[in-house]
Amino acid sequence: MSTVVEAARGWIGTPYVHQASVRGAGCDCLGLLRGVWREVIGPEPEKIPAYTMDWSEPQGEERLWRVGMAHLRPKPMTEAALGDVLLFRMRDGSVAKHVGIQACLGAQASFVHAYSGHGVIESALSAPWARRIVARFVLPMEAR
């Protein structure tokens, strides 16, 4: 089992709360990633500014992708591994702004994510989800 997956699964059942990052109390998808980072690496690499539900959309900026490139290691989409950070584009033509953590591979592929209306859950990485992935990253396992 991956340390990252184990940490992410520890957040399952946490309610969805926009901008939060407290296991058991509330988080959004970025808050889940931030919490897993703190558990497996240490202090977060930068302070996260307040953000709206539609952040980056009006400007069309790939802010989450840019931050991922700054603090995570990008990897080929074809090289799936447990614990990968997945970046999703929820609609064609929109900015990528949902993240999850790969929990299982193969026929039973799944990912852990914080999803509005559901909280932190583990979802099947079904074809509709898989086609939305636009980037795959690895957490740097040493603090910066």
Average pLDDT, the chain: 91
- Domain containing 85 equals 3-138
Burial of 88 (0-12, 13-18, 19+ CB in 10 A): buried
Distant-in-sequence, close-in-space partners of 105: CB < 8 Å, separation ≥ 6: 80, 81, 82
- Sequential DSSP letters for 45-109: SSPPPP--TTTTTTTT--HHHHHHHHHSEEE-TT---TT-EEEEESSTTSPEEEEEEEEE-GGG-
Its pTM stands at: 0.92
pLDDT of residue 52: 64
Of the listed ranges 18-22, 41-45, 48-52, 110-114, the least confidently predicted one is 48-52
pLDDT of residue 59: 65
pLDDT of residue 144: 41
Residue 143 maps to a domain:
no
Residue 124 maps to a domain:
yes
CATH number at residue 11: 3.90.1720.10
Q: How many domains does the chain have?
A: 1
